[in-house]
A and B are shown apart, each in its own frame.
Chain A
Amino acid sequence: MERTNKTIALIIKLIFWGLLAAFFVWAFTNSMFSTIVEQPDTFFRLLGEHVTIVLLSGAAAVLLAVPLGIFVTRPKFRKSEWLIIGIANLGQTVPSLAVLALAMGFLGIGISAAIVALFVYSLLPIIQNTIAGIDSVDDDMIDAAKGMGLTNSQILWKIELPNALTSIIAGVRTALVINIGTAALAYLVGAGGLGVWIFTGIRLFDNAFLMSGAVPVTLLAILIDYLFKWLQFALVPKGLRLARKAQNS
């Protein structure tokens, strides 16, 4: 059973990598990435814009969403949890394209509209994961901490946050990966980014432009995803990784 599962997983992996390799070979032989080679300066400018939008909006979202998540999990404000989550959930049903467009309506054309839109869009996953992370801390653990005379803020810093860290980082990771994709739409509000080439490609039916924009965006998303996976490993206390392992086995 174990063995067949592993074999199947290996075959699927091989097919996947094979297809990927075929795609890149095909793309290169048809000089799909020629735009990057021909205009490296533009490429790095667009990449810089893209990363700036993602990082600024992401950082702002973390600064607001994590404290907000902590706030609604305080016993006194527990009752406001449904409200915050409700608003955030509703916000998620509004398409990212519309959020961008609306931000432009208020802030005009430019990079600030894109940053604000992406900031708003990142809040939900981070708030949700912060709340879920803190909620998942075992009640007995909090009880023991209280019984030993830890103050509420000591419980938050020493117990709740370290134990919720995995979940919070996962939320930031989701938010950033989504953001990288949404930032490709930033071109529409005049904020630049790699979306510029993608849209040029679509409009001119020029596959070289299209691929030179789309593939780096994808790679950027995958890169950030892996970076945060690593960060999760590096930042989360060792005892918690063991706890997780013990639970899954």
Chain B
Amino acid sequence: MTIPSLALFGIMIPILSLINEGIGTLPAVIALVLYSQLPIIRNTYTAINNVDPDIRDAANGIGLTTFQRLYKVELPNAIPLIMAGVRTATVLNIGVGAIATLIGAGGLGGIIYQGILRNNTTMILAGALSVAVLALIADLFLRLIENLFTPKGVKK
């Protein structure tokens, strides 16, 4: 997370140009995958770690195996927080994805970039809005999925 996105793209290019993939979609995809890891891993870890020790204790006490405990108790209770991590990563990636155009990976960022080059505020706005709307839709969609998979008793 600490590594700036453009810098990561930048560092990707010379490394990937060793296999002739320096510019284009591949460095963008790799950088975005790397970027998504932190919020998702962090939230998943926190979520499972935060499951009430008493609940875990009770699960052990009634004889669940480690796998059963994870699958039946810990994961269902952790879903809201895990999904929050997925949503953060997605919204973040859509924003960073807009920068990917600068390393020749195309995408909606291209509209913004063209707007900058031509000093065309309408174009910039159009690009910015489409990226924002895309992020909002993705967020909404993921919330829907979260809602679908969260057990009733775990919802606030």
Contact = CB atoms under 8 A, between A and B. Distances in A.
Contact of A202 (B5, B23, B115, B135): B23
State the main secondary structure of chain B at its contact with A: helix
A93 to B, nearest CB: 4
Contacts of A30: 14
A83 B57 CA distance: 41
B99 A95 contact: yes
State the main secondary structure of chain A at its contact with B: helix
Interface residues of B, number: 43
B16 to A, nearest CB: 11
Contact of B121 (A95, A99, A102, A211): A102
B2 A201 contact: no
A101 B124 contact: yes
Interface stretch (B72-80, B90-98, B145-153): B90-98
Interface in B18-53: 22-23
Interface residues of A, number: 42
B144 interface: no
Given A93-B135, A102-B125, A195-B6, A202 B95 contact: no
A95 B100 CA distance: 11
A188 B103 CA distance: 13
A94 B2 contact: no
A30 B113 CA distance: 32
B7 A217 contact: yes
A218 B31 CA distance: 14
Contacts of A94: 95, 128, 131-132
Contacts of B112: 95, 97-98, 101
A168 interface: no
A228 to B, nearest CB: 11
A97 B131 CA distance: 10
Contacts of B2: 177, 218, 221-222, 225
A92 interface: yes
Interface of B: 1-11, 13-15, 17, 22-23, 91, 94-99, 102-104, 109, 112-113, 115-116, 119, 121, 124-125, 127-128, 131-132, 135-136, 139
Given A93-B135, A213-B7, 7 more contacts: A94-B95, A95-B128, A102-B125, A181-B3, A202-B103, A210-B11, A211-B11
Interface of A: 23, 27, 30, 32, 90, 92-99, 101-102, 104-105, 177, 180-182, 184-185, 188-189, 195, 198-199, 201-202, 205, 207, 210-211, 213-215, 217-218, 221-222, 225
27 contacts: A30-B14, A90-B132, A90-B136, A92-B95, A94-B128, A95-B99, A97-B99, A97-B113, A98-B124, A99-B128, A102-B124, A105-B124, A177-B1, A181-B4, A181-B5, A182-B4, A184-B6, A185-B99, A198-B6, A201-B10, A202-B104, A205-B22, A205-B23, A210-B10, A221-B2, A221-B4, A222-B2
